[in-house]
Chain A
């Protein structure tokens, strides 16, 4: 068998938007009307739009490819075409090997059946035989972590349990080609980690994975390659870091279209010592370069930089004026640039940088650049929250009540081993 597990070649997909006749009652009068009026054809053309235009890519065995893009960019359409639910308008797809899609893993569940019955139902829908399911039943139930409720009808499940059971079934299909769409967004942190582990495991065994997610952190961690889609077009493919950087900057383009703004932030670059990056180690130094152009005369401005966490809660804020550089004024077409240097003492997690041009005395916001995505900070020490205080445990002891005196942990350990 060839090395390529999944290939899409020059795929176009056309959709119709707007009104479609979905009852005979509407269709019959429309058909008779059409016989008398001929101009409807041109109206029909207007209603069509291309959801995908000229998409080509391939995934080899053991590779994981991520797809990112804004809502409506065509990510789900690609997955639906690959899973053969939809046919491309033109172009071809090749899928080599047993195929499994984790698109809404609990789609096959029936509310009135128990968890166990649903494992069989969903497993068969995903392409397993009855015997296979029987042999993996214990594993599946254990992975889902809902042993107690396995004989309860799933309509009584919480939404998290529901999704966990769905993923557990899907994760045990042992496919050669796996498609994952945003399923990891459900379930708690521990379960998400478990899912990522499972996905890494299947790639090691030679499965090709196609991964669609808004969680850029998991894309950067997990994928070897990444595609960026914009309005149905493939605009970039490359290493996850580069593509994510480009995706982040694409948020800026939206703001630029607004002609009424007196000042426009034309460029924001986030650098580490190795160049542009979106992944940092906790405590690493980052540089943020900002460039802006004035359209009209503006006075007493300052550049504000702040970070928010994933729930848009501000965790850090500073500005050129607060840092003692005073304010600046620009005439039309003047440009201004500045660079911030900062140590990212963030805890593990994603943070969203925002740059704004602000006038403090009149409290006016002149322009705002918001990154479409986040930077992620990894840390060797496992700390949660917003900041990393680089903690260390310098004392760790158990005091035995019976002994009446304290023993260090090492002392207790060595006693136990004797």
Chain B
């Protein structure tokens, strides 16, 4: 495995080029260009605000600023996870001419898909920061947690991305299953709602590795608190296992890619 990682490092220039290509092509093809990166998160944020407003009406309590900030802050990472897994899932199939013709470490494709989505996230974060300034969320030292949370999420997305990209190469219906899971995943992940709303039963929700991460974003940005550390540790371990497991799984199947695609 050490050699494989060294080889991946050797090909880092290629990872950069493929990421650059993915980003460039995505923005070239769409009429709106960079708006594309912002539009989908804005839609999710707006949907979240509508849902939160409905909760507030039903519970007959006023909608507070931190709640809106919380929805906004959780929507973006969720959009990142969905788009990175979606693009990673198709990354090998869409590049089949390269997979079958030229040798290089193929994990570059799912990783580049995650990186390109990360770029989108940064663009959208610019808009988010402006939004948070407007609604006067304020700031605190707990913001230091955001890069850590972000990193955990990238590790998780890369691990899952490698698994689904390799699996979808062998089984063509994997991409449909992934699509369905990503579409309905938002109902099992605290994006529009908070874990705390479930009281004691919230711990079941936190078993979803994405939940503690999103909950952490909400805590440190919107509520100026520390994330729930034991649960964050759970997510981090889960992400590392997904990454290592995904990498081993991917490398194990890689020699058969060219024959099976």
Contact = CB atoms under 8 A, between A and B. Distances in A.
Interface of A: 15, 20-25, 27, 80, 83-87, 101, 103-104, 107-108, 110, 112-113, 117, 120-121, 124-127, 129-130
A104 B97 contact: yes
A121 B21 contact: yes
Nearest to B96: A107
B103 A22 contact: no
Contacts of B17: 120-121, 124-125, 130
A258 B16 CA distance: 59
Interface stretch (B141-149, B168-176, B192-200, B210-218): B168-176
Given A24-B174, A85-B102, A125-B102, A117 B258 contact: no
Contact of A107 (B25, B97, B258): B97
Contacts of B171: 21-24, 27
A103 B28 contact: no
A294 to B, nearest CB: 48
B151 to A, nearest CB: 26
B104 interface: yes
A14 to B, nearest CB: 10
Contact of B255 (A22, A87, A121, A130): A87
B14 A125 contact: yes
A86 B255 contact: yes
Nearest to A84: B103
8 contacts: A22-B171, A23-B171, A24-B174, A83-B103, A107-B101, A110-B25, A124-B14, A125-B102
- By DSSP majority rule, is chain A's interface helix, strand, loop, or mixed? loop
Contacts of A24: 171, 173-174, 177
Interface string B20-38: 0100110011000000000
Counting chain A CB atoms within 10 Å of each CB, the highest count among B21, B98, B173, B255 belongs to B21
A5 B79 CA distance: 49
Given A103-B101, A127-B104, 10 more contacts: A20-B260, A80-B258, A83-B103, A107-B101, A112-B28, A113-B21, A113-B24, A117-B21, A120-B17, A130-B13
Given A22-B172, A80-B258, A107-B97, A113 B102 contact: no
A119 to B, nearest CB: 11
- By DSSP majority rule, is chain B's interface helix, strand, loop, or mixed? helix
Contact of B259 (A15, A120, A126, A127): A15
Contacts of B172: 22-23
Interface of B: 13-14, 16-18, 21, 24-25, 28-29, 97-98, 100-104, 170-174, 177, 255, 258-260
Contacts of B170: 22
B254 to A, nearest CB: 9
B28 A85 contact: no
Nearest to B26: A112
A250 B134 CA distance: 81
Given A22-B170, A117-B24, A121-B17, A108 B102 contact: yes
Contact of A23 (B28, B100, B101, B173): B173
Contact of B258 (A85, A101, A120): A85
A127 B17 CA distance: 12
Contact of A104 (B14, B101, B255): B101
Contacts of A80: 258
B14 A113 contact: no
Contact of B102 (A22, A126, A130): A126
Nearest to B25: A112
Counting chain A CB atoms within 10 Å of each CB, the highest count among B21, B29, B101, B172 belongs to B101
